[in-house]
């Protein structure tokens, strides 16, 4: 039997009354073999710090997540070929997606399109479906966004890489531009996985524990990702940054931004993009995107405001001892980067998050279904809830 990781004292804690009704915050419930999040060091993919991997090709990072080791050049070449073979969507899938309603948030369309894909192309094999979904998800996402937004992108080109293809297939005025390609690639790599307990991943694994197939489980994950406290935060953060820009103008001073933040807090209004359930430092994914913003887009009005929000927001929120994480998270800047690099459509940002996160969730589902507990798989999720009478509320 494979050696089990050491459980630290901190991990083996007793559940107390105050831990109940707290969204399972911080409870250890299982293992994750693809990634981990350290409160002070941030995100690791298979034990490697994510900032060290952002210049890798996306396929090399996905290989690492999938197989658990760094592939040789030959292995990566073969993996790329395999993904390309698996990538095309059937005509039937495309036709059915184009008949879905466009009402409501486009994440609903994206979740529904995963069910359609599974109905038509699912293999009922977690391993095969995992690789197929990783290969197909950029095409599916581009198809959904283009259909919803009325954009026209280019067709899939087997000579291009994973994200190069996506940047070309995604329509819009900057379709396929080098800036957009760079931003989408970075965004994609940074969002593949974030430990085992983020809401969409947890939900997907839970649904799969009832032996629902890969596509149904991922559709459920994407419904979880759609909420504003989870994946839709990137849309809300960009809209917040735009609102601040409209209110104070691009040349606002730091103290004007500080005053705006203080006023919003006094009026019980949200300051978007700060804090995280696990992190207690600036989200290293955000740091990477702030670096790109400073290097390439420092003169853009949105970036000027986003950078000032970062310093002033951290300063003001740090004054409150009750706020355990006053630092910006990835959503604080990811939407700004997508926007200034040529994709200024916030309603689609959560789909871009989903295209990436399905990679990690699918891999974690493979672990729980086929590898965990000496290959028996985790049993159906069934945590315990204590009965409480309503009068005692
Ligand atoms: C994520 O990337 O999923 C978010 O940062 C939320 C989380 O980790 O809980």
pLDDT tens digit string along 54-90? 999 999 999 999 999 999 999 999 999 999 999 999 9
Is there a domain that residue 384 lies in?
A: no
Q: What DSSP element (H or E) covers 48? A: strand 48-49
What is the reported pLDDT for 49? 97
What is the reported pLDDT for 15? 85
Same domain, 266 and 308: yes
% of the chain exceeding 90 in pLDDT: 94
Q: Are 286 and 332 in contact (CB under 8 A)?
A: yes
Same domain, 115 and 131: yes
Q: How far is CA 75 from CA 78, 134, 160, in A?
A: 5, 17, 18
Same domain, 277 and 365: no
Is there a domain that residue 41 lies in?
A: no
User: CA 354, 357, 363 angle in degrees (round to 5)?
Assistant: 135
Count of C-beta atoms within a 10 Å radius of residue 328? 28
Same domain, 90 and 220: yes
Is there a domain that residue 392 lies in?
A: no
- SS3 of residue 275 by DSSP: coil
Count of C-beta atoms within a 10 Å radius of residue 54? 18
Determine if the pTM surpasses 0.85.
Answer: yes
Residue nearest to atom 8 of ligand 1 (CA): 198
**Could you tell me which of 386, 357, 369 has the C-alpha nearest to residue 30?**
369
β-pair partners for 49: 44
Instruction: Report the separation in Å between the CA atom of 326 and the middle of ligand 1, taken as the mean of its atom positions.
Output: 16
Is there a domain that residue 69 lies in?
A: yes
Q: pLDDT digits over 51-62, tens only?
A: 999 999 999 999
Same domain, 116 and 176: yes
Is there a domain that residue 6 lies in?
A: no
Instruction: Report the separation in Å between the CA atom of 230 and the middle of ligand 1, taken as the mean of its atom positions.
Output: 7
What is the reported pLDDT for 1? 45
pLDDT at 2 over 60: no
Same domain, 176 and 218: yes
Is there a domain that residue 27 lies in?
A: no
Q: pLDDT digits over 273-283, tens only?
A: 999 999 999 99
Q: pLDDT digits over 175-203, tens only?
A: 999 999 999 999 999 999 999 999 999 99
Q: How far is CA 344 from CA 61, 94, 337, in A?
A: 27, 25, 9
What residue numbers bound the domain in which 323 lies?
A: 234-340
Q: pLDDT digits over 293-319, tens only?
A: 999 999 999 999 999 999 999 999 999
What is the reported pLDDT for 130? 99
> Band of the pLDDT at 226, cuts 50, 70, 90?
very high
Count of C-beta atoms within a 10 Å radius of residue 281? 14
Same domain, 140 and 91: yes
Is there a domain that residue 42 lies in?
A: no
Residue nearest to atom 3 of ligand 1 (CA): 198
pLDDT at 6 over 80: no
Pocket of ligand 1 contains residue 80 by CB under 6 Å: no
Pocket of ligand 1 contains residue 277 by CB under 6 Å: yes
Is there a domain that residue 39 lies in?
A: no
Same domain, 227 and 124: yes
Same domain, 81 and 130: yes
Pocket of ligand 1 contains residue 24 by CB under 6 Å: no
pLDDT at 349 over 50: yes
> Any idea what the CATH number is for the domain that residue 132 is in?
1.10.580.10
> Band of the pLDDT at 10, cuts 50, 70, 90?
low
Same domain, 70 and 190: yes
Same domain, 216 and 264: no
Same domain, 362 and 326: no
Query: How many domains in the chain?
Result: 2
Q: How far apart are CA 30 and CA 208, in angstroms?
A: 15
Instruction: Report the separation in Å between the CA atom of 194 and the middle of ligand 1, taken as the mean of its atom positions.
Output: 6
Active site residue ranges: 230, 276, 331
> Any idea what the CATH number is for the domain that residue 332 is in?
1.10.230.10
């Amino acid at each position: 039997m494979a050696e089990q990781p050491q459980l630290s004292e901190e991990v083996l804690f007793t559940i107390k009354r105050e831990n109940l009704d707290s969204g399972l915050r911080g409870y250890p419930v299982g293992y994750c073999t693809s990634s981990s999040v350290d409160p002070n060091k941030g995100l690791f993919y298979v034990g490697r710090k994510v900032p060290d991997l952002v210049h890798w090709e996306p396929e090399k990072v996905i290989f690492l997540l999938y197989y658990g080791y760094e592939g040789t050049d030959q292995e990566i070449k073969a993996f790329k070929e395999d993904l390309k073979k698996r990538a095309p969507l059937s005509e039937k899938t495309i036709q059915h997606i184009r008949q879905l309603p466009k009402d409501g948030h486009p994440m609903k369309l994206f979740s529904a399109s995963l069910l359609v894909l599974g109905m038509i192309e699912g293999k009922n094999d977690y391993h095969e479906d995992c690789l197929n979904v990783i290969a197909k998800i950029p095409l599916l996402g581009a198809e959904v966004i283009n259909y919803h937004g009325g954009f026209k992108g280019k067709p899939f080109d087997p000579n291009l890489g994973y994200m190069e293809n996506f940047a070309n297939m995604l329509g819009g005025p900057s379709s396929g531009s080098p800036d957009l390609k760079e931003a989408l690639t970075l965004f994609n790599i940074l969002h593949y996985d974030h430990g085992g307990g983020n809401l969409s991943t947890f939900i997907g694994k839970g649904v799969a524990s009832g032996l629902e197939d890969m596509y149904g489980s991922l559709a459920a994950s994407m419904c979880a990702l759609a909420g504003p406290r989870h994946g839709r935060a990137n849309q809300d953060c960009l809209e917040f940054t735009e609102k601040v820009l409209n209110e104070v103008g691009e040349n606002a001073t730091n103290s004007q931004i500080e005053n705006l933040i203080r006023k919003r807090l006094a009026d019980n209004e949200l300051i978007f993009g700060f804090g995280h359930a696990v992190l207690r430092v600036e989200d290293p994914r955000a740091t990477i995107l702030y670096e790109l913003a400073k290097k390439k887009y420092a003169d853009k009005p949105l970036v000027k405001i986003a950078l000032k929000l970062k310093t002033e927001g951290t300063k003001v929120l740090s004054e409150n001892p009750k706020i355990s994480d006053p630092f910006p998270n990835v959503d604080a800047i990811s939407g700004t980067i997508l926007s200034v690099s040529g994709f200024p459509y916030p309603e689609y940002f959560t789909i871009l998050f989903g295209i990436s996160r399905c990679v990690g969730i699918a891999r974690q589902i493979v672990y729980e279904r086929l590898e965990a507990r000496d290959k028996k798989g985790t049993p159906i999720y069934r945590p315990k809830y204590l009965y409480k009478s309503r009068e005692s509320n």
